[in-house]
Chain A
Amino acid sequence: MNDANRKLPWRRTKEKAIQHFFLVNGLFAVLVLVCIFSILFIEAYPAFKEIRPGDFLGRQWNPTSPVRESYGLGAMILSTLMVTFGAMLIAVPLGIASAAFIAEVATAKVREIVKPVIEILAGIPSVVVGFLGIVVLGPLLSKWFGTPSGLNAVNGSILLAVMSLPTIMSISEDAIVSVPQEFKKASFALGATRWQTLTRVTLPAASSGIIASVMLGMGRAIGETMTVLMATGNAPAMPAKFSDPVRTMTATIAIELGETVQGGIHYHSLFVIGVVLFFMTFLVNFVSDLVLRKYQKVSR
């Protein structure tokens, strides 16, 4: 008894130390996020000093021009938005439709096979998807549009759709499944068919989860690098139509960072793109988080 009592303070200190050790590891995530943001900003800052903010709003990105360098982000932001929009145009209807099918129509057996199969899609590396964009989709599109190369915004959109579909499908399906049974039962009791119940009761009730899934898929599409780098043709000009080759923000960083002089304006301006990209994805994820939280509150 005496012995145990003497051990007690030591034990308490030890327990406290262990708890603090785990806390430090938890705080590490916060530290990393703060570090990413500050390093991006510190590295981008010299560019803000040298280049007038108005120049970033220009269309033309040509930092290595021998005549006059230009640092307009317009063309690459538009390119990013174009491929993302195109991807969502394909992925949103397909993702929601398949989520609805798996959650409400398919038998348990079909569900147990199809869901993991579609989730395997999420595991395919982006570089493999980009490769197929070059060797399979490219030649197809080139024939279709009658252009010499099939590497353009359409190609990128289709590939990004494939990459963001598993996210959209999986999270939408979770949202549809978690709609309370009472909602559906009430709808059936009023004489509604299964289709009416799905489209007018279940899907609207799951809408915040579905919107969140779309935002997450969109975030993935905006930040995706290798697929667009390989399959969109990388022409740094202002795109006019979807069959034009485009060069997104991510692709620009990937292409140019290796070629710049460290410490030069060009180098720092690439971090400016990084900062803009960081904020775009941050915003999209933030909105999805807000929507999802509202949805959790409602369903509780």
Chain B
Amino acid sequence: MKKVYRRIGEKVGFLILGLATALLVFVLLFILYDIFSKGGRTLSWEFITSKPLRGMTAGGIWPAVVGTFWVSLVTVVFAVPVGMFAAIYLNEYAKQGRLTRMIRLAIRNLSGVPSIVYGLFGFALFVLALKMGLSVLSSGLTLGLLTLPWTITASEEALKTVPFSYREGALALGATKWQTIRTNVLPYAVPGMLTGTILGLARAAGETAPILFTGVAFFWPVLSPFPKLLTSQFMALPYHLFIMSTQHHNITKVRPIAYGTALVLISLILGMNFVAIYIRYRFRKKYKRF
């Protein structure tokens, strides 16, 4: 009798666990469904490629798309080399010791610092102290610092997947440490680093709090041509969604625009995620042949 009771208890227990998981999957699917179904009604080529019109109650989101692109570019140019080099140091050169421990501790803590604190920091340092003003540059650098712990961690993971025998082979042939890294480690680690970088970038592109005080503008329809745009304010997709859903004077009228913006933003980020996963997948397949 007790045995039957036990078996029923087990079934119920596993059922509850399954339901919890199903709930999570449902929440995700609901979010995607809601955004895609309602945003899809607004979405069109004109919506993406035209400027906001008539007090932002009509028109599209092109300036925000361009702004997000340029800020992300600054983020990448700044964060990726530093992140990769730091990872190369940690995985290839560093010896276990106080210095290495300190660096790792700093990286872990950096990844826990709230994004709004990065915003405060970027405002005080880049905008005011270094006199970069409210600009693409200030925002990009702030986001670059925010993504740094992710790019370092991802690059290190990629370096770790390269088998030790690759290094030993080169060293045994008399190559120096740097020659070994350049010819026998990096070529195999780069796709993995790329994956991590894209994932980090996808997160940076969706961040709002760090750019809030460092350069994003409510309405800035025309960006100047290349070198000058770095020092000007800009519009960005996540911030555009924020103002369209909270700050606009006619919230209900612009709701379709908000949904459309959310759709473009989420597609951009999911798209980057899929590209990253695809690169990793291709890389793994290629890797197996060796």
Mark A residues whose CB is within 8 Å of B.
11, 14-15, 18-19, 21-23, 25-30, 32-33, 35-36, 39-40, 43, 93-94, 97-98, 100-102, 105-106, 114, 116-118, 120-121, 123-132, 134-136, 162, 165, 169, 193-196, 198-199, 216, 219, 222-226, 230, 250, 253-254, 257-258, 262, 270-271, 274, 277-278, 281-282, 284-286, 289
Contact = CB atoms under 8 A, between A and B. Distances in A.
Given A94-B24, A127-B206, A225-B209, A22 B112 contact: no
Nearest to A198: B13
Nearest to B16: A97
B145 A32 contact: yes
B114 A21 contact: no
Nearest to A215: B112
Interface in B158-216: 176-178, 202-203, 205-209, 212-213
B208 A126 contact: yes
B275 interface: no
Interface of B: 6-7, 9-10, 13-14, 16-18, 20-21, 23-25, 27-28, 31, 34-35, 81-82, 85-86, 88-90, 92-94, 102-103, 106-110, 112-121, 123-125, 128-129, 145, 148-149, 152, 176-178, 202-203, 205-209, 212-213, 238-239, 241-242, 245-246, 255, 258, 262, 265-266, 269-270, 273, 277
Contacts, number: 242
8 contacts: A22-B89, A25-B81, A26-B86, A40-B124, A114-B21, A117-B25, A125-B207, A194-B10
Given A125-B207, A134-B246, A223-B115, A29 B86 contact: yes
Given A22-B85, A195-B13, A250-B116, A97 B209 contact: no
The SS class assigned to the B binding surface is helix
A25 B109 contact: no
Given A19-B177, A126-B208, A223-B117, A26 B94 contact: yes
A136 B102 contact: no
Contacts of B35: 128, 132
A142 to B, nearest CB: 15
A196 B89 CA distance: 46
Instruction: List 9 tightest A-B contacts by C-beta distance, closest first.
Output: A223-B114, A125-B206, A25-B85, A97-B20, A22-B89, A285-B112, A195-B10, A101-B17, A26-B89
B113 A131 contact: no
A288 to B, nearest CB: 9
Given A223-B115, A226-B242, A21 B34 contact: no
Contact of B208 (A19, A35, A125, A278): A125
Contact of B114 (A125, A135, A196, A224): A224
